[in-house]
Structure 1
């Protein structure tokens, strides 16, 4: 195999790798960012796709984030792959924080006061065990209201940052290609000039 280890990893190495990867925890995020920057769509299309993915990641529709992001990206003429990739904002590490934030913001927007402070664990317990009719008023309504505000803010920020990043990345790439083409065009002229001497 081309990429196989020379020395087989033992169980202790695999355990350490599981809890603390050799390449670090930021590697997947850097990979996604580079993958999005290298998409061959216009800066608007990529930014609109990322904005759609960011918005859908804040909704409580867990399991339907990608479908919602693709639909929104299609309506905004955004890049569908960028939308799907951006939904990874909602991952097992961030979903409890996003859910709790949308719930609290929604409660504040709707003027609802809970009798007790709700934690992320209690919120997910309610989502799992209550019927839809019991769930709407105390949980889903505030979460959807909060998701509307926080998701829109995240989408606007994601659009602006992504559009700027894609524009500057493509400009740098274009300048590099022109520089290489200029050097490649200049080198045959120099070699012909050398032969004539």
Structure 2
């Protein structure tokens, strides 16, 4: 999936200002980001939406995370995953001829010769699979801890009011409402009377 820069900015603003807590928003983004590095190329969006529904996560945040894998990053991700998998399995990385690499690095070729990518990686499918799964777990975990403080900071900077501040720190809306009710009820308490007492009421 690939979108324009303007559409990306709109989605980013919606993602950073969603009503979900920063923890769950970061978790949803991390799930999508991890899926982007998984070996299931061509099914990232389907897997992301399925997990979003199953885990009741923000679908926008999950899909946004999968954008890490796009026509410009596909080949570097696949190459690095294969190298990592080759190192983990102790096997030699597959050697791709220069013309094949040039075709795979072409933006147009990524779509016209998508099948060639699989055939080119066929000699090293096991290192690629293992390396991709490893990168998927690492990337998803790291992205959560990187996204969480950023989302909190952006919300605190642009959102106003105690409700937005509480949501940015993971507090429930109900607790904020109780605090405001208690504060309002405290303001309605009658002030002590300052009028002098009647002479007959001061008996000993």
| TM-score in same-fold range (> 0.5) | yes
Q: Report how far residue 173 of structure 1 moved.
A: 3.6
Which of these two proteins has the greater Rg computed from alpha carbons? Answer: 2
Aligned mates of 1:63, 1:117 — CA distance in 2: 22
Instruction: Say whether the 8 Å CA contact 1:69–1:83 is kept in structure 2.
Output: yes
The match for 1:141 is 126
**Cα displacement (A) at 1:47:** 0.8
Aligned residues: 148
Aligned to 1:64: 43
Gaps of 5+ in 2: 106-113, 163-204
Structure 1: state its 5+ residue gaps: 1-24, 179-197
Partner of 1:108: 87
* Structural mapping, 1:43-192, within 5 Å: 43-74=22-53, 76-114=55-93, 116=95, 120=101, 121=103, 126-129=116-119, 135=122, 138-174=123-159, 176-177=160-161
Using the alignment, how far apart are the partners of 1:88 and 1:115 within structure 2? 27
Matches of 1:27 and 1:89 in 2, distance apart?
17
8 Å Cα contact 1:47-1:159 kept in structure 2: yes
Aligned with 2:80: secondary structure? Answer: helix
Structure-1-length-normalised TM-score: 0.62
